[in-house]
Structure 1
Amino acid sequence: MKVYLSVDMEGVTGLTDPEEMHAGGRGYERGCELMTADANAVIEAAFLRGAEAVVVNDAHSSTKNLRVDLIDPRCTLIRGPYKPMRMGQGLDASFDAACFVGYHACAGTPNGVLNHTWMGKEIQNVWINGEISGETRLVAGYAGSLGVPVVLVTGDEAVCEEARALLGDVETVAVKKGIDKFSAELVPPARAQEMIGEATLRALDRRADFRPYTIEAPYTLAVEWNSTAIAASCANIPGVRLAGPRHTEFTTEDYGDIMALFGIFSMIAGTVACSSGVYG
């Protein structure tokens, strides 16, 4: 059995503050330790259930957040920026199960801790084939295009609700309950990581119950940006069309193109926003 982990940070046990999400911020180093501990809870359970290989993808921001010195030595770790498939890097059809750890709800979700979709202020909304999509749907769609089912999602209560609405009876672990975007009622780390391990065991025990989440091709990705400048810049990418002052659209038969395009979008949007000061 091969198990794949995509590990984000906003939904990690104990974290609520934007400062904790970025290198140099207050609490970031401790946040990396907590992120690694959540991942390790899944890895340990996977090997307890007989996994032959566990591949972990650091899927947050710089993708250099998981502590290499603290990660379970039995796994392999994918880290570093500019990975072609970003949050789905390393995933292929050979995996039996995918787990999403530390995920968060899509942009605009009430009481979703650190809710956003792919970027922070730059992206207002994302749709795939006309359906609003957060990162859970985006990455689950990629896994499904490869025939890999998502069996576990951990994060706050809001993303767990989002995952169940999307994926059905998927195992979920809510490690915090959002009060607002930047505050939450937390499950202490020791108990939260125990819950994550228990849920992973349950998920892998019944992995035959899960089916890949599939979106019918062709795939149309629509993005509502916060800026006309970002939309216009992204529309210069071949195949991307301007569908409104702040909207872009892109259609493809290959879901991998969606994942790759988001990486390019992020670089362009980040550059425009960062060079625009208060207007970004």
Structure 2
Amino acid sequence: MKILISTDIEGVAGVTHAEQTRSGNPEYERARAWMTDEANAAIRGAFAGGASDVLVNDSHGGFRNLLLDRLDARAQTITGKPRYLGMMAGVEQDCDAVYMIGYHARAQTAGVLAHTINSLAFRSVRVNGTELGEAGLYGALAGEWGVPVALLSGDDVFLAETAPIFPGAIGVETKRAFGNAACTSLAPSRACALIEAAARAAVANVRALRAFTIAGPLECELTTQTPGQADLFCQWPQTRRIDGSTLRFGADSMQSLVRMLNCFSAMSFMLR
């Protein structure tokens, strides 16, 4: 059994402010250590549950956050960008299940640090009419390889959002949101204990799960934070402008759709 652990930072216990997610300050250094601890908890649990191999995908920001010298040596790490599969890189390496650790709710919800891919550029992302956050987008990408999501950790808003998408997956609540930058959090050590126990149990549950897929053809409706961003993204010939801040494009797969969104996210830095 091979497990892919995709790790983000906004859903990690104790993380509640944007400063903790950005490099170059002491708050980030503390948060990335907590992120590493939660990744290690998931690794320990996966191996204890019977996994033979574990891949860890560093999935936040520049994809260079985990403290590799502190990571469980039994796991291998996917780090750095760009990569075609982004937060789900590694799923193509014959994985049996995905664990989403430290994830967050989608944009425009009341979750802690809620956003979808790019908080400064994307207001909402809909695929075939259904609004999705990062978990839904990347869970559907994993589904193209037939790989189910077996474990999720983050705040209560995130778990409520993803429960209908990933039925049967185990959820670990690391904190309860009281807005974008306020929460009641577990102690990091308590969160790690719960993640480790859930990661162990999730291995035995994998065979009962079904991968999340979205039937094609796919159409993505992207609402940007400003009309200027839509101006920029509509330079791409495949896009169709719907209104001042909304555009649509088609895709032949979730991989193509996610790659387009990540290209738009990179393009948005021109306007900062």
For 2:93 and 2:254, the matched residues in 1 are separated by: 13
Question: Aligned partners of 2:63, 2:70: CA distance in 1, in Å?
Answer: 16
- Which residue of the partner structure matches residue 278 of structure 1? none
Name the structure 2 match of 1:121.
Answer: 120
CA deviations 1:69-106 (Å, max 9, x no partner) are 11111111111122222111222161111010100001
| Matched residue, 2:181 | 182
Contact 1:14–1:189 under 8 Å retained in 2: yes
| RMSD of aligned alpha carbons | 1.2
Unpaired stretches in structure 2, ≥5 consecutive residues: none
**Do structure 1's residue 137 and structure 2's residue 136 form an aligned pair?**
yes
2:205 aligned partner, one-letter code: R
**Residue correspondence of structure 1 range 1-280 to structure 2 within 5 A:** 1-92=1-92, 94-110=94-110, 112-272=111-271, 274=272
Secondary structure, in 3 states, of the residue corresponding to 2:82?
coil
SS of 2:70's partner is: coil
Spell out, residue by residue over 1:111-140, the C-alpha distance to the aligned partner (whole angstroms, 9 max, x if none). x11111111132111101110111111011
Contact 1:93 1:147 in 2 (8 A): no
SS in 2 for 1:126: strand
Measure the CA separation in 1 of the matches of 2:52 and 2:204. Answer: 15
- When normalised by structure 2's length, the TM-score is 0.97
Structure 2 residue identity aligned to 1:202: A
**C-alpha distance in 2, partners of 1:91/1:270?**
28
Give how far 1:26 is off: 4.2
Q: Is the 8 A contact 2:49 2:199 kept in 1?
A: no
The question of whether the paired residues in 2 share the 8 Å contact of 1:88 and 1:259 is answered with no
Runs of 4+ in 1 over 4 A off after TM superposition: none
Deviates more, 1:30-39 or 1:79-88: 79-88
CA distance in 2, matches of 1:95, 1:71: 20
- Give distance in 1, aligned partners of 2:117 and 2:138: 11
Looking at structure 1, the residues matched to 44 and 75 of structure 2 have their Cα atoms a distance apart, in angstroms, of: 9
Question: For residues 66 and 188 of structure 1, what CA distance do their matches in structure 2 show?
Answer: 19
